Amino acid sequence: MAFSTSTPSTASFRCFSSGASKDISFPPIKSLKLPLFWPWQKVKMGPLSVSPMGFGTWAWGNQFLWGYQESMDAELQQTFNLAVENGINLFDTADSYGTGRLNGKSEKLLGKFIQEFQGKKQVQDEIVIATKFAAYPWRLTPGQFVKACRGSLDRLQIDQIGIGQLHWSTANYAPPQELALWDGLVAMYEKGLVRAVGVSNYGPSQLVKIHDYLKARGVPLCSAQVQFSLLSMGKSQLEIKNICDSLGIRLISYSPLGLGMLTGKYTPSRLPRGPRGLLFRQILPGLEPLLTSLEEIAQRRGKAVPQVAINWCICKGTIPIPGIKTVKQAEENLGALGWRLRSDELLQLEYAASQSPQKMIQNIFQTR
């Protein structure tokens, strides 16, 4: 919540300098309104300046996994507004987000919320949308991929997408299609439909290949989005991170809370409904060392468990994009910003993760 002073008063602050202190009085303030979390420095991602954490919108329109209903739209808009008002300018979506007749719903809602945002025009203009284009089997030519991009632009009601991303690689099952999709990224970049291009679910080998291919075409690879968290820091993920660092690619970490397993809100006897519950039942019993360490650090630092888990991702140099559905979730996740875990705390968490016998199941679409 923002706070305000509605009656004139004199503010007094203690200033410390060279071991001495003194009180400084300021003129009466009629009204003071501050955001929940003071604006923080942006980070560079290719040609873009983005918040050190973004928000994911996978749940917006997804009935199967996240139980979306259209009655949620009003709170989703409040959640979006709260995020933007507090410095978040990166939102991740995809043209495939939404189930059945709601396919593309996530992009439509984002477009609506951007258009109806009542804040400063400059803040609205600085919003960066990173959307992903599905490698559907019928998208066989660069032109079809460009058409997909134009469809997203229409749903988002914007003139240019911040980051156009290839949602997954087809190298494992349809290698000939892969080159056409890469050429599609080049085409949408050259046509000015996107400011930058990125990939999602690319393993180490394919990531290097597409980086080199795009570089030869004069197109920089801006970002690589993979599942990356304390639950997902295996050899392959760490290799991807090292490649990104060496090639100047920004790693975007999706599922930084392990679909909710790292929130501390669930136990083997208290599971979420639906398909997630089946997954949690398999993994949660083996996470006691990690969850215990998260709780210890959270209590010591006066933070919530999810804030510690997200902050770990930030400290590793990635941009986490936790999903949000409610104002409460947004408020909690925003608390991951404005502070950093100490080196000993990072080591404690990583050791606890290594001692937890269960790990997150990797996305089946991630390549080698």
Residues serving a catalytic function are 97
Instruction: Copy the structure tokens of residue 119.
Output: 């804040």
Compute the distance between CA of residue 239 and CA of residue 237 in angstroms, rounded to an integer.
Answer: 5
Distance CA 225, CA 52 (A): 14
CA distance 30 to 9: 7
- Note whether 306 and 257 are within 8 A (CB): yes
DSSP assignment, residue 110?
A: H
- Nearest Cα to Cα of residue 233 among 347, 329, 130, 344: 347
Structure tokens, 315 = 């400290």
Q: Are 32 and 11 contacting, i.e. CB atoms less than 8 angstroms apart?
A: no
Distance in Å from the first CA to the final CA of the chain: 45
Phi and psi at 130, nearest 5°, equal -110, 110
Q: How far apart are CA 68 and CA 196, in angstroms?
A: 30
H-type alpha helices, 67-141: 73-85, 105-116, 121-125
Identify the bridge partners of residue 55 per DSSP, sorted by sequence position. 91
297's CB contacts (< 8 A; 6+ apart) are 303, 308, 341, 345, 348, 349
Take residue 146 and report the two structure tokens written for it: 């460009």
Pair 193, 161: CB distance under 8 Å:
yes
Residues 42 and 37: their CA atoms lie apart, in Å, by 14
